[in-house]
Amino acid sequence: MVAKQRVATLGFNGFAINPEPGAYRFARWAQPMMILSSEVTLLVCRLVGTLVKNHRRHKADRDASGAISRPLDVGVPHTSTDARSRTPPESSAMTSSLLTTSAAVSAALDARRPVVALESTIITHGMPYPQNLEMAREVEAVVRQNGAEPATIAVMDGRLRVGLEDGDLEALARAGTSAAKASRRDLSSLLATGGLAGTTVATTMQISAMAGIAVFATGGIGGVHRGAETSFDISADLDELGRTPVAVVCAGAKSILDIAKTLEVLETRGVPVLGFGTDSFPAFWARQSGHGVDQRVDDPETVAQIIALQKALGMGGVLVANPIPEADALEPEEIGAVIGRAVEEASAQGIGGKAVTPFLLKRIFELTGGRSLRANIALVKNNAALAARIAVALQQADSAQ
């Protein structure tokens, strides 16, 4: 009973069960200690139940073999990335057969080297050619420079492609908006028809999880659109973050969105919002949105530990909000006025649904004389560099187990 009371009332990073009967010990107490909510208490109790079962099975194995084993430590969970663990339990053989992984990405995953997923809607719908192709090549180079293998994801020729050759990047860039914009609901029809598509944040997360990639870099996530109380226009990115165990490194939510409502939905979905080196949630082109984050984190190693623990708890993704570099940021007042004008024009022209974001980005590019595009490229590179450092920290933690 005492052990149960402690688990229910004290926050912790992890604890271990000593193999000696009845001896429980806690390790690495979280600071500060806190009262847990009823939902978290239930989650912890289920975790404890699993640990006790594992302890009993461990003891039985030890008694049978006469061997003495080390304590079962769950402070930092094991995150093995062998071929079996890379395929989530819910993935079927058919799902795996739809993936085509490049030789470079396959080699990295098989060797347990860090990999960073990259989305492709930014190539097809985020900026014009040839800037989109230059950006895609430069972002992949940034990932490599920071110690990880890039895996740009797209839908091509009826396949879920994980890792693209340069010719594939160019084909996507040249196709531009003539390619589809693939969110979760579009995948089956695109695969059936052999369509070409850039993948959104939601779909890139989904495919990353299938491939066994834990970290993904993008520009900014989708969220709750302005006027959603009447349009119900809410990005599928938020639901995906709530259910898919992939960490998304971004410059916050796109400034064209209702950021306050977006953060509310993320809270409801149980998504931790981490501010990397900041207490303020960034707003894509601007470093601050006027809203806070759930937790400030100042180093990739701590982010990696949070990602591992989130996965161990059987929860969804983690959002890492990384502000645009100060030298490339736009002033909040200026970009706010530009966005307001672009939103009014979209409403007047009856533009809605999937078409809203590409229209607004194009119009903002025009109204800022191209400065929004330069800022966009800078923040994507910044996010790719951080995502690679986090992926390296995850791999190093895994190797240390």
pLDDT at 35 (0 to 100): 56
Other C-beta atoms lying within 10 Å of the C-beta of residue 237? 29
Which residues does 29 contact at the CB level (< 8 Å), separation at least 6? 10, 11, 12, 13
pLDDT at 184 (0 to 100): 93
Residues 108 and 66 in one domain: no
What pLDDT digit, counting tens, does each position of 162-197 carry?
A: 999 999 999 999 999 999 999 999 999 999 999 999
Greater pLDDT, 298 or 85? 298
Give the CA radius of gyration of the chain.
22
What rounded mean pLDDT belongs to the chain? 83
Which residue has 């470079």 as its token pair?
104
Contact 223, 264 (CB under 8 A): no
Greater pLDDT, 62 or 135? 135
3-state secondary structure of 271: coil
Greater pLDDT, 191 or 36? 191
Given 254, 311, 362, 381, which residue is catalytic?
254
Greater pLDDT, 398 or 10? 398
pLDDT at 357 (0 to 100): 79
Domain range enclosing 187:
93-400
Residue 92 predicted with pLDDT over 70: no
Residue 81 lies in a domain: no
Residues 107 and 38 in one domain: no
Residues 310 and 392 in one domain: yes
Residues 166 and 295 in one domain: yes
pLDDT at 48 (0 to 100): 55
What pLDDT digit, counting tens, does each position of 312-348 carry?
A: 999 999 999 999 999 999 988 888 899 899 989 998 9
pLDDT band at 96 (very low <50, low <70, confident <90, very high): confident
Residues 217 and 268 in one domain: yes
Let me know the angle formed at the C-alpha of 354 by 352 and 358, rounded to the nearest 5 degrees: 95
Residue 64 predicted with pLDDT over 80: no
- Rounded to the nearest 10 degrees, the angle between the axes of helix 2-9 and helix 38-65 is 130
Residue 83 lies in a domain: no
3-state secondary structure of 347: helix
Which residues does 167 contact at the CB level (< 8 Å), separation at least 6? none
Residue 377 predicted with pLDDT over 60: yes
Contact 318, 248 (CB under 8 A): yes
Residue 386 lies in a domain: yes
Residue 39 predicted with pLDDT over 90: no
- Cβ-in-10-Å burial (0-12, 13-18, 19+) of 38 comes to exposed
Residues 63 and 135 in one domain: no
pLDDT band at 399 (very low <50, low <70, confident <90, very high): confident
CATH number (domain holding residue 351): 3.40.1790.10
Residue 52 predicted with pLDDT over 60: no
Other C-beta atoms lying within 10 Å of the C-beta of residue 144? 14
pLDDT band at 15 (very low <50, low <70, confident <90, very high): very low
Residues 339 and 380 in one domain: yes
Contact 185, 240 (CB under 8 A): no
pLDDT band at 36 (very low <50, low <70, confident <90, very high): low
The mean pLDDT value for 14-23 works out to 41
The structure tokens listed for 60 are 């039985």
Residue 380 lies in a domain: yes
Residue 384 predicted with pLDDT over 70: yes
Residues 48 and 194 in one domain: no
pLDDT at 228 (0 to 100): 87
Residues 55 and 103 in one domain: no
Using alpha carbons, select from 363, 268, 373, 383 the residue that is nearest to residue 321.
Answer: 383
Residue 86 lies in a domain: no
Residue 362 predicted with pLDDT over 70: yes
Residue 50 predicted with pLDDT over 60: no
The mean pLDDT value for 41-66 works out to 54
The mean pLDDT value for 25-34 works out to 41
What pLDDT digit, counting tens, does each position of 239-254 carry?
A: 999 999 999 999 999 8
pLDDT band at 88 (very low <50, low <70, confident <90, very high): very low
Residue 156 lies in a domain: yes
Given 119, 140, 170, 240, which residue is catalytic?
119
Let me know the angle formed at the C-alpha of 112 by 273 and 317, rounded to the nearest 5 degrees: 20
Q: Tally the domains of the chain.
A: 2
Residue 12 predicted with pLDDT over 70: no
Active site residue 4: no
Residue 3 predicted with pLDDT over 50: no
DSSP state of 253: B
Residues 26 and 100 in one domain: no
Residue 132 lies in a domain: yes
pLDDT at 109 (0 to 100): 97
pTM of this structure: 0.78
Least confident of 118-132, 265-279, 352-366: 352-366
Residue 78 lies in a domain: no
Active site residue 90: no
Residues 54 and 120 in one domain: no
Other C-beta atoms lying within 10 Å of the C-beta of residue 140? 21
Backbone phi, psi, residue 395, to 5° = -65, -40
Residues 202 and 342 in one domain: yes
